[in-house]
Structure 1
Amino acid sequence: MPPAAIGVVRVSGPGAREALHALAGRVPKARRASLADLKDVDGAALDRALIFWFPGPATATGEDLAELHLHGGRAVVAAVEASLGAMPGLRRAEPGEFTRRAFENGRIDLAEAEGLADLLAAETESQRVQALGMASGHVSRAVAGWRDRLLGLMAGAEAELNFADEDDVETGDNVARRLISGMGALAGELGEWLARPAAEVIAEGLSVVIAGPPNAGKSTLINALAQRELAIVSPVAGTTRDVIETPLALDGIAMRFSDTAGLRAESTDDIEIIGIDRAKAAVERADILLWLGPPKEAPDHPRAILIAAQLDRWRGDAAAEAEAALADIALSAATGEGMEKLHRYIVEMARTLLPREGEAALRQRQRAALAEAKQWLEIETGSREARDLILLAERLRLAGTALDQITGRAGVEEMLDALFGRFCIGK
């Protein structure tokens, strides 16, 4: 948004060439930058700008497209937009309309558009890498490969069903066995993709919950991690009554840290009881748990880091040091001792929850479509259905339809408005 060093105004559609000629008095060579004095319909100067002409369909939107690289002051951009808006057949773009036109004109598919939306919203390095892979077609290429294999299997089924009397066509049980083997192999590959972390984990941030008994140092720890006074610290037990959440990024990984009410067996305070229940629910949903209580009392969690907190208070106490020896790390959030080690612990554990380098994670919508495709490909060997080529061919067709939902070739009309509405006006 203005003001900026440069303001880019894009015109896309059948009127783009005429609009560019009206402002600049000429149309430059295709895909060449040219300096021009822009004027309104009355001949008044608007700006001296770089102009570009991109004839379709080999453009970002698949249509004729003109770009004006203006000085980025508000008045300059507003004056040029006003002149364009006064021309017949031109109107201001809706949010995400250029990207939507690119999708509708086949320049990108739905998975790439979703990746672009995530790239625009990326705030951390892990989000950028994941979104860039999606926008660059990582998932789309995988889907294209799966479709090619499906088409090969479908061709074999159709050949048997329609041309079984031809001498060069494989027939009988051999066809069914080959189909089932191919379907099983493809289902296994889809299962491997479904076993990867969901894209929402990267986009929304891993949930890191700090839990433990009252006065264990939970609020002091989250304040130290956030480097600000996020939670109230008090020696009075039960000070924290609700889950306090703050977004943080550690080594480029987005996380959501939550401070919780102290967990204890009994309480006569109704509000504290509600806080304890919410704390327990947060622990169950946590991707990573930071437990500040006695190690033997830690909840059964697959990714718990046992912390002996308040090191500055109990150092030298033999009993306390013996119990602390059972923890993964001892630290003092008040003095900072051990905080760097905790940082490394959290990051190392977080990396196990993220896709490996070169892997792409799937959105919930994409995962649902992939799971549906996998379901159609899974069939019990030896069953009656496994010997029926018509049913096998139908399963292959339905699996292909499910895959088409990932790239937007089928069944996604209801969610397009919501997706492209996330983009800015100029995108």
Structure 2
Amino acid sequence: MMKERFILPDGLVYLDGNSLGPLPRGAAARVGTTMELEWGRLAIAGWNRAGWIGQPMALGDRIGRLIGAEPGSVSVGDTLSVKVFQLVAAALAMRPERKVVLSDSGNFPSDLYMADGLAEALGDVQLVVVEPEEIAGRIGPDVAVLMLTEVDYRTGRKHDMAALTRAAHEAGALTVWDLAHSAGALPVELAGAGADFACGCTYKYLNGGPGAPGFAYVAPRHADTARTILQGWLGHAEPFAFEPGYRPAAGAERMRVGTPPILQMAALEAALDIWDEVDVSELRARSIVLSERFIAAVESACPDIALVSPRDPEARGSQVSFRFEHGYAAMQALIAHGVVGDFRAPDIMRFGITPLYLSEEDIDVAAGVIAKVMTERLWDDPAYATRSAVT
């Protein structure tokens, strides 16, 4: 556990790192250095002298270590939704004779929105959405792209990346994997699984901060053939040649679009300093121990809520979700009593299990508070029923 490396709110057990990771203790100083010593003293020279222009690929390699990616295959920048759009477009262009993007109903809505919007723009492409357990059976000769989030954002259900990627390839399709709830939560082996494309965010388990940039992975075998519908200036082979026509950069760097968010990247850099010291396999083992302890304690004390995460720890990510009719109000009551999770409509109470800063004691305290809120019906207070903009 590396709890001392984070700034956590006093008096709270923080079980929401799967939504927004806490502040790394070194991040404020790192951002301050970037602002004062780089931006402040170097001004525009920071792009060269402080290495700003190279940050997207340098940080990409550091993230790549955590997701089983080859060196030079990950670029950082823009948002996760933008990356989904780019990668699905690139994959579709590589299978022009096929017209289906296949996904599942457990995928994050933004991914589905992006794919649907792209399909509408192209005109002859269709987004097909089936239940998670129906994915393998639906992969067929009409599918160009299999677009899945490895870990379901609501339930924590985990897809078998290697098996589904193999099935997609056997059918002639390409894969785009969203790692929003995988990167920093469990071992990912993109190269080992043969994934074609992947993307993710850095503000959840990676603790890069609110608005931290997304990342994109392009398998080296596709690096110089994949094309992106978003032909941004910094994805050009020579941005400062200022050519009127677009020539894509080599490899994953062509997935760069807009100007890198340097201040956000400074905070992410500080977060990755912590990750450089982490063995993800050990982290995963610890996550399973804590989540099993949490489930056992909550279920023994709270018969009114139902586990919706897979019971097999190998089949779920690093989160535990329960279903309760009054889940929103119950979560607000929990937060008021010092346990922070979050709510996902229509009735899911979600708890992130993040071993970097959670202990057995934290788990036991959280389970005790949940039991109190449920058995004493503390959620049945009108004050907890008013919904905020962010749930």
**TM-score over 0.5 (shorter chain):** no
Higher Cα Rg, which structure: 1
Which TM-score band applies after superposition, normalised by the shorter structure? under 0.3
- TM-score, with normalisation over the residues of structure 1? 0.22
- TM-score, with normalisation over the residues of structure 2? 0.23
User: Which structure has the higher relative contact order (CA within 8 Å, separation 6+)?
Assistant: 2
